[in-house]
Chains A and B, each alone.
Chain A
Amino acid sequence: MSVSRLGTSAVLRGLGAAVPSRVVTNDELSQRLSTSDEWVRTRTGIAQRHVADAGTATADLAVEAGARALKSAGAGEADAVVCATTSPDRPMPATAPEVAARLGLPNVAAVRVDGGCAGVVYALATGAGLLAAGVAERVLVVGAEIMTRLVDPDDLGTAVLFGDGAGAVVLERGDADQPGAIGPFDLGSDGDLADLLAIPAGGSRRAVDADAIAERANFIHMDGKEVYRQAVRRMVESSRNVLEAAGLTVDDVDRMVGHQANARILDAVGDRLGVPVERRVSNVARYGNTSAASIPLALVDADLRPGELVLLTAFGAGLSWGSTLLTWPDLATS
């Protein structure tokens, strides 16, 4: 299909990903949690996840994915780095400057975007904004997570869901009718529901003291059922908003790349939007929920064809959500 959107735009030029080598299957988790492969698969669609070893930090995965994205763009450098992560190497400083420096990009603009599982869509919008503002000519946008460090290993409601990984894209300034053009964006939040998905301790609200540790408050707490409901509702609304803003309908969408949290959420969103099953991209079975890394990891796996209109939609802690559209370019990926 053809999309005509006038004006300048951010254009996607490169794509790369990195995941830790160790794979943890549902059967392995079932050895210490009272669950089973069948239980996890039927409720989440997840069969396995990649898990970082103790010596690997989020920036390590981000650097690997970022280098691959720059290579795929045929570019040695970028003049800004936006890193979406919920699981930074340290509470301070932001992970992005270290990622930039290790990629050989000293002194460039570098910032972390904390949009939970919707972070990468916010980071893409941030990158597009830096281009539009004239701050940068080429932006590296990374989503990188070591979520397995944030989950309570004994909490069945979350321990089976998350995985580790990173994905990155390169954005450059271009025209809205070029292959790779990205936008418009629909972004939103509902902070009244912040407690539905949160790590209660470890910030200025509550220290990680002995009580917090005893209550496991230093780990992710999630009201899974309400999050499920909100995720479906918000991704559907946001997808409709972004299509309307672009003057398109769901029939124009060649592929839907939703945040890979749970296969059943993706199906519920696809069913409501009317996206046929064969147009929905899903790799949650292999990686679990990798939060801000999930959409770029799915883009790598999706086998997208140049010219296809791709709908990206994500939802996560905050609550935060966001959607955008892009015309798939002809890319060398690795």
Chain B
Amino acid sequence: MDKFQIQSMNLHYGKFHALKNINLNMQKNKITAFIGPSGCGKSTLLKSLNRMNDLVEGCKITGSLKLDGEDIYGNMDVNVLRKRVGMVFQKANPFPMSVYDNIAFGPRTHGVKNKKQLDEIVEQTLKDAAIWDELKDRLKKSALGLSGGQQQRLCIARALAVKPEVLLMDEATSALDPISTGKIEELCMKLKNEYTIIMVTHNMQQALRVSDYTAFFLLGEMIEYNDTDTIFSSPKEQKTEEYITGRFG
């Protein structure tokens, strides 16, 4: 079943045509990876899915983007959209507050006030994100004191705490060491049973390791989209092949 349906979508930053006529459907409970060289528009497309592009001045989108058949840019409240479509950023951005308050931020935003209920959510999401054991003794400590990998997993947990349906990951492991990266990849595989995950990655090995589907972008165009094995073993387009075999990018 399709979680996202994107039809003839174009995006301009001022006069720059950043995404050209994108048509793409993404499946529920799968991991879809966007790959391509820097500046190809893959992050831009990702940010269009939870309307974070609205923050960019001069950004204009046309076409249609739907979440479960509902128009993202229609009458859907943007705050509701972002609750349903969570996001993890390239650079871990925990708030300058305690681990507990970081996780509780989202639920509190959406009206959970009961202390006991919050405690449960914090414990459950930290367990879901597989860092409960590491952090259970430092819930009251500042999140800024954690290591880079822990911070990023905390951010994943923070995104999970509002019970989203989709998790967008914008090169979430690009600043991390291989061990932390491995932990996050493992986590993604586990999470896809409950969530739809869309990740932007620079790392083709990562796409190959974790994703079910892969879309290859180049200069604002989606060149090829298929299941990951096909893309990497027998790409239809020559440009895709050149990219994945490392001839450019």
Is the A/B pair a real complex?
no
